[in-house]
Amino acid sequence: MQSFRTELEDLHNPVVEKEIIDLDKKIRLFQEGKIDETKFKSLRLARGVYGQRQPGVQMVRIKLPFGKINFKQIVRIADLSDEYASKKLHFTTRQDVQIHYVSLDKTPELWVKLAEDDITLREACGNTVRNVTASPNAGIDKDEPFDISPYAQAMFEFFVRNPICQDMGRKFKIAFSSSEKDTAFTFIHDLGFIPKVKFENGQEIRGFKVMLGGGLGAQPLMAHVIEEFLPEDQMIPLTESVIRVFDRYGERNNRNKARFKYLLQKLGLEDVLKLVAEERIANKSTSFHVNTKVFSEVQLSDVKIAPSVEISDKDLYEKWIKSNVYQQKQEDFYCVYVKVLTGDMPSEQARAFANALEGYVADDIRITQNQGLLLKYVRKENLPYVFEKLSELGLATPGFDSITDITTCPGTDTCNLGISNSTEMAKVLEDVLYKEYPELIYNHELKIKISGCMNSCGQHGLAEIGFHGSSIKVAGKIVPAVQVMLGGGSLGDGLGRASERVIKVPTKRAPQVLRALLNDFGANAQEEETFKAYYDRNGKDYFYQLLKPIADQSTLTEDEFIDWGQYEDFKTEIGVGECAGVVVDLVATLLYESEEKLVWAHESFDAKSWADSIYHSYNIYIGTAKALLLSKSITSNTQAGIIKEFDANFVASGEIVLPEGYANFADLVLQINKNQPTEEFAKSYLDIATLFYSEAKKIYAPQSIL
């Protein structure tokens, strides 16, 4: 423990030090039975610590804003995966890195060592603003109006640790695309931004097209366009207002209806935008100017000339050049995409990758949405060297982001919600493609994506050909199956479409499905016709009839009762998912949380962070009111509902007497969106919140408040 504390002090970052000490303290209190399990789960999720399918170990998710990582950080994560985890890095579709099989006791120590290289776990999971994603080629994209990387960085910095998004009803996802090609899939995000420019009086004005309310999961919905051109300085104020509305009005009990897209369904887009407008007065700033020079420009002299090498496989090199290498908008530089099978890279391979390439490309690698890596600023004369080093490591496979580059979640390897083994199926399908359809390594229009369940972590819902794990029952036995999804994908400039469920087939027949689809498309598609257009022209029933013979259950063999990569008959073993966090329903725990927020509100006030103090005070009102309502067995599924119920059950009855001047609890609490975040308002709002909490404790006085 002494060594852990010493390393913590060496960080010289009091904010991170405090967070890690708090995590360590809460772990011990939980193990001593002094913190409720559901409360503790919520706390650790917000710190990137996620329960695995395997009992007693954790998945740790490392949050990397828009997938930006350097060689030193790759080596650090690889070393720590050797020391604390399973000696493997997993790259995710949200541009994070995950490591698995970590002991809960070791997570504070692990976080300390990650923080030494400026890596955080903060809000990588839980009911928070998740990792801000972006087009990996931002900054080098020939089609981009401007580099969105600084804007994504500013978004990350503004909302990490921000009081308005620490305990929402569910997660909130934000994406930036570099151009109208929309390679970050803004249409499936809660908020998506596409850069735009216009000219006024000869001056270039930057802004964004804004998408709101998209999402995949079991019920995919495409985002709405709410701004064709939002000035750049309004990007963060708008986002803050949207998140405030989500926090107050979003569902909190039924996790299946708790995403922002369902709030839009419930209230309607027009009413939600009115609520967003009402929140603008309470924002930290009415205009936010992003430092666009936060990242330094790379020069040719910054990249070393690599040693000359002889190409070992000229045919493979040519395929790799055509499918994985692109010229940047910066003259004399190329970018190289690295295909990583199922997003999994052994730590030994990761270290070798860093040691071989550092100095010969920019020290700015990006994790891609299809679980690969992007190397930037490669000299033309360095391409043979880069190829040879990647080839030695098994990382020079051609076909990046083509149909042969299948995206997949971990499935039943580690996930509680996984139904079937998606990673092994992806490997089998890729093998079919490379052996039987080698010409498709150049097809970047047709994508295959796989998820182990319906929740779309593998993004099957936006693929031209998607599969998600399922099961069917035949003769009293459970057979692993996949739901075949067709016709999804990006349409560009914020538009997209979800794939449609067509048919369910035994999972071992997925290769037959793939062959049937590709053979039919190859034989019957019109010249230059895309798969989406081909699907539309023929219709869903055409593909159902095409695949129906493959789904025939009367011809099942014994092998088909066993999932990919397994040796025993299939069983559905679905645990409790943690992606959405938890609902805490203990009165004493809620009051304890309010007491913590009271401390945070005073700390923020003393630091002159008026907006933060105000929102902590707001949460004191909400949390305390929820606790008192719960003591009478009254529940509500939104914060707005809590305010209404508290007026009806405590204020109207006279059990709680409000300060003079306030007719009801709603008038008191909702001052928050009627006042600017000034020192005067912050003080009065906090003073009343303090009194309110004190009165609540008198009404509900459990023998022990944690």
pLDDT digits (tens, 9 = 90+) for 327-386: 999 999 999 999 999 999 999 999 999 999 999 999 999 999 999 999 999 999 999 999
Q: In the block, which residue shows the tokens 């060297």?
A: 385
For residue 579, give the nearest of 243, 103, 217, 245 by alpha carbon. Answer: 217
Q: 654 and 668 in contact (C-beta within 8 Å)?
A: no
Instruction: Tell me 632's DSSP state.
Output: T
| Number of residues written out for the chain | 706
E strand or H helix that includes residue 108: helix 107-115
pLDDT at 469 over 70: yes
CA of 607: how far to CAs of 47, 655, 685, in Å? 24, 35, 16
| Confidence category of residue 46, pLDDT binned at 50, 70, 90 | confident
Q: 333 and 374 in contact (C-beta within 8 Å)?
A: no
E strand or H helix that includes residue 209: strand 203-212
| pLDDT of 574 | 47
DSSP track, 322-373: HHHEEE-SSTTEEEEEE--GGGEEEHHHHHHHHHHHBTTB-S-EEE-TTS-E
| Confidence category of residue 581, pLDDT binned at 50, 70, 90 | very low
Tell me the pairing of strands 174-176 and 325-327. Answer: unpaired
Q: Which of 249-253, 331-335, 418-422 has the lowest mean pLDDT?
A: 418-422
How many of the other CB atoms lie within 10 Å of CB of 504? 16
How many of the other CB atoms lie within 10 Å of CB of 110? 24
Maximal C-alpha separation, the chain: 86
| Confidence category of residue 38, pLDDT binned at 50, 70, 90 | confident
- Per the DSSP assignment, residues forming a β-bridge with 501 are 485
Q: How many helices (H) and strands (E) does the chain have?
A: 21, 22
**Strand, coil or helix: 591:** helix
φ and ψ at 140, to 5 degrees? -125, 0
| Confidence category of residue 579, pLDDT binned at 50, 70, 90 | low
Tell me the pairing of strands 191-200 and 174-176. Answer: parallel
For residue 134, give the nearest of 172, 90, 184 by alpha carbon. Answer: 184
How many of the other CB atoms lie within 10 Å of CB of 64? 26
Question: Quick one: tokens of 626?
Answer: 């929820």
| pLDDT of 142 | 97
pLDDT at 3 over 70: no
d(CA 427, CA 423): 6
27 vs 233, higher pLDDT: 233
Average pLDDT over the chain, rounded to an integer: 91
CA of 39: how far to CAs of 22, 36, 275, 582, in Å? 14, 5, 30, 8
| pLDDT of 703 | 41
- How far is the first Cα of the chain from the last one, in angstroms, to the nearest whole number? 24
Cα pseudo-dihedral 600, 606, 611, 616, rounded to 10? 20
| pLDDT of 475 | 82
411 vs 78, higher pLDDT: 78
Question: Quick one: tokens of 106?
Answer: 């070791």
pLDDT at 413 over 90: no
d(CA 415, CA 52): 6
Span 609-626, pLDDT tens digits: 999 999 999 999 999 999
| pLDDT of 44 | 85
Span 169-200, pLDDT tens digits: 999 999 999 999 999 999 999 999 999 999 99
688-702 average pLDDT score: 85
**Strand, coil or helix: 143:** coil
Question: Quick one: tokens of 632?
Answer: 């009478």
Decide: residue 32, CB within 10 A, 0-12 exposed, 13-18 middle, 19+ buried: exposed
pLDDT at 562 over 90: no
C-alpha 124 chain-centroid distance: 8
Percent of the chain residues topping a pLDDT of 70: 94
Cα pseudo-dihedral 305, 309, 315, 320, rounded to 10? -30
Span 640-669, pLDDT tens digits: 999 999 999 999 999 988 988 899 999 999
Q: 42 and 581 in contact (C-beta within 8 Å)?
A: yes
258-281 average pLDDT score: 97
**Strand, coil or helix: 281:** helix
d(CA 312, CA 314): 6
For residue 359, give the nearest of 317, 400, 307 by alpha carbon. Answer: 307
476 vs 534, higher pLDDT: 534
Domain architecture of the chain: domains with CATH: 2-115 (3.90.480.20), 133-282 (3.30.413.10), 301-392 (3.90.480.20), 407-561 (3.30.413.10), 587-699 (1.20.120.330)
Q: 148 and 140 in contact (C-beta within 8 Å)?
A: no
CA of 526: how far to CAs of 124, 437, 516, 523, 660, in Å? 45, 19, 17, 9, 75
d(CA 619, CA 167): 10
| pLDDT of 582 | 38
Angle at CA of residue 392, ends 390 and 397, nearest 5°: 50
| Confidence category of residue 568, pLDDT binned at 50, 70, 90 | low
d(CA 123, CA 125): 5
**Strand, coil or helix: 656:** coil
Question: Quick one: tokens of 360?
Answer: 């010969």
C-alpha 169 chain-centroid distance: 16
Q: 444 and 468 in contact (C-beta within 8 Å)?
A: no
556-581 average pLDDT score: 68
d(CA 554, CA 247): 51
525 torsion bin: left (phi>0), alpha (psi -120 to 50), beta (else): beta
pLDDT at 584 over 60: no
Q: 223 and 189 in contact (C-beta within 8 Å)?
A: yes
For residue 343, give the nearest of 122, 95, 100, 134 by alpha carbon. Answer: 95
d(CA 40, CA 375): 39
d(CA 223, CA 212): 5
